[in-house]
């Protein structure tokens, strides 16, 4: 039987550190994927995820259970990502370094598939990644949390520690900016 996050947290608080390892296994891939989409760098995403898990372990006694553990963890991770960006000032906007991770490659490798279709898909994906990377951090973060991670507006507000109206506004603006960047990019590719 798979213990719930709540049960694992109780076990961890009782001294069973291996229970936190189960939480890391359970939430690590999704956390990394979200951070990768926000940061655009596999290395930065790994480091931010590690920072988030260390901080979460250290502060596990402050988790009150008012939200899902994954929401609480994502908030820590977003803060860790922003802190890393402020400290390093080496933010990369290119997402080309990790193609193929987390389903970015949509190429059809079946026998008889049209190879030009695969190339067109890869080019479209590159254009979308580049346009997403050009969005301001707060817009990109809100959009990634909503559209790629599937969080509700209320959860995003909690993760980003902003009012729900601000979440809606950022997502709306992010979609508009992304749409315009894609229109320009695709127009230039014709």
Q: Which of 36, 62, 91 delimits the end of a domain?
A: 91
Reading the chain (190 residues) residue by residue, the pLDDT tens digits are 789 999 999 999 999 989 999 999 999 999 999 998 888 888 989 999 999 999 999 999 999 988 899 999 999 999 888 877 777 654 343 334 433 434 344 344 444 556 677 777 777 777 888 888 889 989 999 999 999 888 999 999 999 999 999 999 999 999 999 999 998 888 866 5
CB 45 within 8 A of CB 78: no
- In this structure, are 37 and 62 located in the same domain? yes
pLDDT computed for residue 98 by the predictor? 39
Which CATH number covers residue 153? 1.10.10.10
- In this structure, are 50 and 79 located in the same domain? yes
Which CATH number covers residue 53? 1.10.1740.10
pTM over 0.75: no
DSSP tag of 134: T
**Three-class HEC string of 19-32:** HHHHHHHHHHHHHH
Residue 127 domain-assigned (yes or no) = yes
- Residue 187 CA to residue 53 CA, distance in Å, equals 42
- In this structure, are 28 and 61 located in the same domain? yes
Q: Which of 91, 115, 136 delimits the end of a domain?
A: 91
Q: Nearest-5° angle of CA 67, CA 70, CA 74? A: 105
pLDDT computed for residue 57 by the predictor? 94
Residue 168 domain-assigned (yes or no) = yes
- In this structure, are 143 and 165 located in the same domain? yes
Residue 97 domain-assigned (yes or no) = no
Q: How far is CA 170 from CA 6, 51, 173, in A?
A: 32, 26, 5
What is the span of the domain harbouring residue 56? Answer: 1-91
- Please identify which residue in the block is written with the tokens 């940061």: 39
Residue 63 domain-assigned (yes or no) = yes
């Amino acid at each position: 039987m798979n213990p719930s996050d709540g049960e694992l947290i109780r076990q961890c608080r009782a001294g069973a550190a291996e229970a936190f390892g189960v939480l890391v296994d359970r939430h690590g891939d999704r956390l990394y994927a979200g951070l990768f989409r926000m940061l655009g760098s596999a290395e930065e995403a790994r480091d931010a995820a590690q920072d988030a898990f260390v901080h979460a372990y250290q502060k596990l006694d402050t988790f009150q259970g008012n939200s899902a553990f994954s929401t609480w963890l994502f908030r820590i991770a977003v803060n860790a990502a922003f802190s890393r960006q402020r400290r390093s000032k080496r933010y990369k906007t290119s997402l080309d370094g990790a193609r193929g991770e987390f389903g970015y490659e949509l190429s059809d490798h079946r026998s008889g598939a049209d190879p030009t279709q695969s190339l067109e898909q890869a080019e479209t994906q590159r254009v979308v990644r580049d346009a997403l990377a050009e969005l301001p951090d707060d817009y990109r973060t809100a959009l990634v949390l909503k559209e790629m991670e599937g969080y509700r507006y209320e959860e995003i507000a909690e993760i980003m520690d902003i009012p729900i109206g601000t979440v809606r506004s950022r997502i709306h603006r992010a979609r508009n900016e992304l749409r315009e960047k894609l229109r320009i990019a695709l127009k230039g590719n014709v």
